[in-house]
Amino acid sequence: MTVHAKRIADSTVRRLSMYLRYLEDLDQEGQTTASSDALAQLSGTTPAQVRKDLSFFGSFGKRGLGYPVHELTTRLREILGLAQSWRVIIIGAGKIGSALAEYRGFRQRGFTVVGVYDNSPEKIGRAWGDATVRDIAALATDVRTLAVDIAVLAIPADDAQHVVDDLVAAGVRAILNFAPSQVHVPTHVAVKHVNMAMELEGLSFALTNRGD
């Protein structure tokens, strides 16, 4: 089944990810059904929201019996594109890139790091986990030969747009951007930003304006 990604809000996709996590736990514990109440409580939302989110993707389960845990887990994995594996490259062999490359959660969910890139002569050629850091100049060729699905950017803000343009030209269609800058891409390319300074600013805003 293909749904139209544009129509599904990012916040819905995030909740689906969260439901999946809890359902996997329940599945491992041998539970066979889960109520929308239980899913709502575990993921900090309302039962009505759970039902609405899941109704986007067809009907699951029977009224009054709750959702069938194993079946819903499988379906959510399909919906989120986790039934297959994705080939990921990391650009920027610094601390953040390194933390990402070793993050067990990625491999567990089917994201395989197939290459690491940097432009620093000191880093190029060095062993890096199972990989060797490659020259960022090889990116355009490698994206094709390695059949890269997703590129993770962990580089300074000033370099980001330039590297993104190269990635898009080479055919990358999904980018996770840790660089503290917006990047512009054509509409067929998906981008997610993780900006740690902005998250902290969200907290300083809350601390400043908590109205007490």
Question: Closest CB to a copy of itself among 65 and 195?
Answer: 195
Interatomic CA distance for residues 102 and 100, integer angstroms: 5
Residue 115 CB, nearest distance to a copy of itself (Å)?
Answer: 16
Question: Closest CB to a copy of itself among 103 and 137?
Answer: 103
Residue 88 CB, nearest distance to a copy of itself (Å)?
Answer: 8
Q: Which residues contact 31 (CB under 8 A, 6 or more apart)?
A: 69
Residue 193 CB, nearest distance to a copy of itself (Å)?
Answer: 9
Interface positions with a copy of itself (CB under 8 A): 2-6, 8, 10, 13-14, 16-18, 42-44, 79-82, 84, 86, 88, 94-96, 98-100, 102-103, 105-106, 109-111, 149-150, 173-176, 180, 182, 184, 188, 190, 192, 194-212
Convert 139-203 into a string of H (helix), E (strand) and C (coil): HHHHHHHCCCCEEEECCCHHHHHHHHHHHHHHCCCEEEECCCCCCCCCCCCEEEECCHHHHHHHH
Residue 38 CB, nearest distance to a copy of itself (Å)?
Answer: 14
